Amino acid sequence: MADRQVASPVESTSTAVKRDVPFFKPDLGEREIDEVVAVLRSGWLTTGPRVKQFERDFAATLGAPYALAVNSATAALHLAVEALGVQPGDGVLVPTMTFAATAEVLHYMGAHPVLVDCDPVTLNMDLTDAEAAIERCARRATTDPAARPTRVVGMIPVHVGGLMMDVGAIRALAERHGLWVVEDAAHAFPAAWRPEAASPWEYCGSGTGTITAFSFYANKTITTGEGGMATTASAALADRMRLMSLHGLTRDAWDRYSGGRSWDYRIVAPGYKYNLTDVAAAIGIHQLGRAEEMRVAREQRALAYLDQLAGVSAVELPPTDANRIHAWHLFPLRLRLDQLSIDRNRFIDELRDAGVGCSVHWRPLHLHPYHQEQLAVTPSEYPVATALFERLVSLPLSSTMSPADVEYVAAVVSDLTRRFRR
């Protein structure tokens, strides 16, 4: 028997046919499949012509001068901070409300993440707290020369959920303190910002940061399965990242094994193994062509959530902004726990029992044992992120969701807030 569509978000889930709604499902079509088959038949599986095409197409889509395809956003971030010359002991501003990769690439370099609290509405880095963190580091350096970090050299803002930060404010902060900016845009393709309605759109990665790192993991708007991209306006930075992405060799595999090219190469730096394969790029080429279509589909699902959950007082909904093109990678709810008789973890258990996939984004970095030990930080230093973490739940959101899926999830959330109202 077919599932009955839920009539409204206030209908009890006890009267609705249970659905299984995964947290995400990749949106893959026949073109992606055919392109992968063509790659397998071509005999060229690793970095080759599809990767080069994907890089060209991605750069053209954003209007970025240079794009480098790699095997993850983590790789893109690591290559970025290495190319920028991060040194042991350097401090770099990092939001505590982020995934592990944003900070761990600094540990690879012997540098120090300087954690920053988050904005209570957007969940993005609080730039006021960022400036205070710079001042704290400067004072500590004068009073205790042995303290680390000795200086703050850059910042890695994260556009949480695909809602871009105020890029103008980021630039102003960076200019005041002589910082470079590496954007962690794992959630933010395609996304854009403008300072006001009369201004032109500026797409994330078109020059919004010194370097911008994107993710093509399976749950992103476009996917290559695993993969990432770095964009920049600097030829020197692009050349360095490309060199270091494949063992520090003077020629990449495409140059060395293409017909008529020399076999010879030189190792000029101890690089990494971060190159993307043609198999992955084959998926990305056609995903890129559908990127705006899939972004709009995610936006439609998000707007439906906003409409159907607008009257549920026990949840706070994610913000929108007329001066942002939102990538809608996530749809994070904030529970008003003072109105509920259960905590966030029990709420998640109830969602999953009802067939609704969900997650939490994220446990802030300062609440992980490693960072507590390495950085000597405490929850009280980041009061906003500490409090928000206990309330966060990300609902399923993807371009593959049906309207009935969205209605069902909204109905489950509404029903839970009624059943467990304090």
Do the Cβ atoms of 117 and 378 come closer than 8 Å? no
Quote the CA–CA distance of 57 and 62 in Å, as a whole number: 9
- At residue 400, the 3 state secondary structure works out as coil
Residue with tokens 């056609």: 286
Alpha-helical regions (H) of 181-332 = 235-244, 253-257, 278-289, 291-308
Closest CA to 377 of 106, 96, 91: 96
C-beta neighbour count of 98 within 10 angstroms: 27
Quote the CA–CA distance of 220 and 235 in Å, as a whole number: 28
Packing angle between helix 291-308 and helix 403-419, nearest 10 degrees? 30
The structure tokens listed for 42 are 């071509």
Q: Is 220 a catalytic residue?
A: yes
Quote the CA–CA distance of 76 and 66 in Å, as a whole number: 13
Residue with tokens 């993307």: 276
Judged on CB neighbours under 10 Å (0-12, 13-18, 19+), 124 is buried
Determine which one of 18, 52, 220, 273 is catalytic: 220
**Annotated active-site positions, please?**
220
